[in-house]
Structure formats: C-alpha cells, structure tokens
Chain A
Amino acid sequence: MLNAILLLLSCQLAGEVISQYFSIPVPGPVVGMALLLVVFHFVPAVGDMVRETSNTILRNLSLLFVPAGVGVMLHVSTVFDEWLAILVSLVLGTVMTLTATALTIKYVSRLMISRAKGRL
C-alpha cells in the first residue's frame, strides 16, 4: 500500500512540476494521471501494485468532495444574489450535457455499425 501511495504522490508531484514549469493549462494531477498511464504502458506489473489502493480511493471518491461542498458557506451572498442564474445553469446545463453526450455516442455508434454493414 505504501508503494502505491508513493507512486500516486510521485506522479502527482511530477505532474505538478511539469504543469508549472511549462505553464500549461492542464492541472498537475491530470498530468500525473497521464504519466501513470505511460508508466503502466511500459511497466505493466506496476498496475497490480497500485490497483488495490487506487480502487479503495476511487470507491470512496464522493467523500473527498465534502470539504469543497461545505465551502458553500463562503458564497452564501453570491448564491443568494444570483440564485436564479445559478439554478437554471446547473439544472438545464446538466440535462443538456448528459443528453448531448449520450445521444452523440449512441448515434455515432449506430452510424459506424450501419457503415460497417454497408461495406459487407
């Protein structure tokens, strides 16, 4: 487990350094994730080492959002003043994003299947 944590932290640290050094818009942890994928590709055995710890973290992922969520306390006035704009944006935006993503995948898949059949 310690090895896994060390690997995750090292990837994040390296990602952070790369993100800052090259001042790229991608945040450090995301660069770290890409780095870990590269590590998996070249040293597949590493996957077994981090799998258990990673799955434990990901299974409890929602817990990690709680401290940020409690931050709503800091923005009571903004949320109060602009509640309608925020509510509409959150609710309709979520519905639109979900629908757009799912239907795009569905119809592009269907298009590819019918094309593949046409070729036969």
Chain B
Amino acid sequence: MSPARLADIWVYLSASPLLHLTMTVAAYVFGDWLYRRSANNALLNPVLIAVVVLVAILVATRTPYQTYFEGAQFVHFFLGPATVALAVPLYSNFARLRQMWVPLSAGLLVGAMTAALSAILLAWVFGASHQTLLALAPKSVTAPVAMGITEKLGGPASLTAILVVSTGILGAVFGPTILDWCRVTDPATRGFAIGTTSHGIGTARAFQESELAGAFSGLAMGMNTLVSSLLIPPLLRVIGVVSQ
C-alpha cells in the first residue's frame, strides 16, 4: 500500500468517531495492563497512563480536543448511567451503613466541607484566578456531578474535569499510605475516606484493598455527590466567592 493511500485512510478515519473511541479504550487497556504487570504499583495509575498516552498522540498528530471528543464522548457519556448505578452498592450495603450511620455522616460532612474549603483557600492564598477557584471547589466530587456544580456556578466545567481526575489519581496513589500514617485500619472507614476524597478513581483503588473498602468508597462517592451538590453553592456564597 502506498504512503499516499495510507494518508487518505488516516484523513478518513480521523474524521470518524471510531478512531478516537478505539484509541481511548486501547490506551486505558494498555494502562491497566501496565498497572497489573507492575504488581499494582499505585504510581502507574491506569487513568494517568491513558491520559498521558492520549495527550502525547493527539499533540503529535495535531488533533484538536474537539475532534478527539467526538469519538471519546461515547465513553464519557457512561458517567451518567454509572452515577445512577451507584445506587446498587449503596443498597446492598444498607445494613452496615445503618449501623455506622452517625460516624459516616459526620465524616462525610466534615470531609465535604474540608474538600471545598481547603481547595479554595489554598488556591486563593497562592493567587489562583476566580474561575479556577470555581473549578476547584467540587474537585472531590465525581466528574459529571462536579462539572454540573461548576457549570451552575458559572465556572469552567472542562477545567473542573481535569482537577477532578487529578484529585482522583492523587487519592488513589497516596490515599492508602496516608491512611496508614493516620493508623486508620478499619476497611469500611478507609474506603469511605477514599471515596469522599477521590470519588470513582479512588473507589477503583479501594476495591483492590478489599470488597468492603470498595463498597464503602462507592457509597461515600454517591453520598458526597448529594451532600456537595447541596453544600458547595451556599458555602461559596458565605465565603464570598460567589455573589449572593
């Protein structure tokens, strides 16, 4: 096959969603494979690897993000149904949840407040712009919901997406170690803290610690979507980041 013919095929494929959809899944499968091969070295987080690989390819081929997203949107779309699906682990762990109801609610409230306030205050001290503050506020909430929160506040939702993913990766990579330092050993508590801080990416990590940790991480992520959606807009009004 001549190079010119190959170039034609490339032009044709890069205009169809198939190429970038396949690339997205392939990059993730590669990241996941690398992660497993490294005996689950947390630094080789599959999402991080997939993002690095994809950005490198897109920059090298001068493909704009919009073109990429036309293919990747089919993956992105499933964040919505996945959020709905969180009702399943929530419901099946209802007994344990009811037993730990008071401490978990306290932890969730403190965690959700700490997440939003620490993000905003630290960034403000170091001179972040107003738009960045709006994007940072919901960074511990799972992506589709966090983007919704920023959007309703008039901030840049696509910046939120990156900050959410970064927070997820950070929590997945360092979360277990930090919890060891704090001498938190109960799997339910560990999972819940990881889920509150690092949503779905943290939950994927918590499932590796144990089934129970994973379930409670998913639980925390689900509950945090509700609490943060209700809490963040008034909180930002109180501290004056958003006008009344």
Q: Do A and B come from one complex?
A: yes
**Residues of A contacting B110 in the complex (Cβ-Cβ under 8 angstroms):** 100-101, 104
Q: Chain A's nearest CB lies how many Å from the CB of B185?
A: 9
> Across the two chains, which residue of chain A brings its CB closest to B66?
A74
| Chain B residues, CB < 8 A from A90 | 119, 139, 163, 166-167, 170
- Which residue from A51, A58, A64, A78 sits with its C-beta under 8 Å from B132? A78
Instruction: State the CA gap A66–B30 with chains docked (Å).
Output: 13
- Tell me the chain B residues, 146-172 only, with Cβ under 8 Å from chain A: 147-149, 152, 156, 158-159, 161-168, 170-171
Per DSSP, are chain B's interface residues mostly helix, strand or loop, or mixed? helix
What is the size, in residues, of chain B's interface with A at 8 Å between Cβ atoms?
109
Q: In whole Å, how far is B189's beta carbon from the nearest beta carbon of chain A?
A: 5
* B24, A93: Cβ atoms closer than 8 Å: no
Cross-chain contact A30 with B193 (CB below 8 angstroms): no
Within the complex, what minimum Cβ distance (angstroms) separates B134 from chain A? 12
Give min CB distance, B88 to chain A, whole Å: 4
How many Å from the CB of B72 to the closest CB on chain A? 4
Question: Is B19 part of the binding interface, using a Cβ–Cβ cutoff of 8 Å?
Answer: no
Q: Point out the residues of chain B lying under 8 angstroms from A101, CB to CB.
A: 107-108, 110-111, 114, 192-193, 196-197, 220
Please state if B88 and A58 are interface contacts (CB–CB under 8 Å): yes
- Can you list 23 contacts pairing A with B, beta carbon distance less than 8 Å? A8-B84, A29-B80, A33-B222, A34-B87, A37-B90, A58-B82, A61-B203, A63-B28, A64-B143, A65-B200, A65-B201, A67-B75, A68-B164, A69-B47, A71-B65, A78-B132, A90-B139, A94-B170, A98-B171, A105-B100, A105-B192, A109-B186, A112-B103
Q: A25-B233, A58-B218, A98-B196 are in contact. List 6 more A-B contacts (CB 8 A).
A: A25-B149, A71-B162, A82-B128, A94-B167, A97-B115, A98-B171
Residues of B within 8 A of A (CB): 24-25, 27-28, 46-47, 50-51, 54-55, 58-59, 65, 68-69, 72-73, 75-76, 78-92, 100, 102-104, 106-108, 110-111, 114-115, 118-120, 122-129, 131-132, 136, 139-140, 143-145, 147-149, 152, 156, 158-159, 161-168, 170-171, 174-175, 178-179, 182, 184, 186, 189-190, 192-194, 196-198, 200-201, 203-204, 207, 218, 220, 222, 225-226, 229-230, 233
